[in-house]
Chain A
Amino acid sequence: LAKTTQPISMDSYEGQEVNITCSHNNIATNDYITWYQQFPSQGPRFIIQGYKTKVTNEVASLFIPADRKSSTLSLPRVSLSDTAVYYCLVSPGTGFQKLVFGTGTRLLVSP
């Protein structure tokens, strides 16, 4: 499974856009990129998943360049409740998924 690297922590203020970049240099052709969010004392929650270019849902956008060696999770106009740990995962798009979590990015949103 491809190893991912992301910043340990990020700080932001309410109303700002936050972009968290993840590098996955060894991503395989059939790998997808998935992001999870985890609040303190809770289990992770699926946010978004993509293969290439751009994916958008009601929560976030995911930008993936053509070489797919990195990806950027974009959170528009964050609020205090977006304070959480964000995990970038890379795994095959089909079949059994053994999700591999790194240490994630700890996002702190301040007033």
Chain B
Amino acid sequence: NAGVMQNPRHLVRRRGQEARLRCSPMKGHSHVYWYRQLPEEGLKFMVYLQKENIIDESGMPKERFSAEFPKEGPSILRIQQVVRGDSAAYFCASSPSGGRSYEQYFGPGTRLTVT
């Protein structure tokens, strides 16, 4: 059973470009969470999605950031017009429907560098 997959693992973007981060949850998991981690800090919650629904986006910046989890395909975290402050590791996690959502399974992360 493959774990949570994220791609790309590393992404370099110039200021003003768009970044698209992909997350494929574990098989059978219908809940996806995105977190951001700045250097030497803990992870910060961004958004919680179920298939075709955003459940909680209270941790998402109001502008430039969006997330989706379509009926088919991976979850996408999209950052438009990136700035240097967006440089961070972005982690996706998943949990099964009806499961213990405190037990989330994390992917290896995407490290975004904005130059």
Contacts and interface: CB of A to CB of B under 8 A. Distances in A.
Interface of A: 32, 34, 41-46, 49, 87, 89, 91, 93, 95-104
A43 B106 contact: yes
Interface in B83-115: 91, 93, 95, 100-109, 111
Contacts of B43: 44, 99, 101
Nearest to B106: A43
Q: Is the interface of A mostly helix, strand, loop or mixed?
A: loop
A58 B47 CA distance: 32
B12 interface: no
Question: Size range of the interface on B?
Answer: 20 to 34
B104 A97 contact: yes
19 contacts: A34-B102, A42-B108, A43-B4, A43-B107, A44-B43, A46-B103, A46-B105, A91-B102, A96-B48, A96-B56, A96-B101, A97-B101, A97-B104, A98-B59, A99-B35, A99-B102, A99-B104, A102-B42, A103-B41
A91 B104 CA distance: 13
A100 B20 CA distance: 24
Contacts of A96: 48, 55-56, 101
A94 to B, nearest CB: 9
B48 to A, nearest CB: 6
Given A42-B109, A43-B91, A43-B109, A103 B102 contact: no
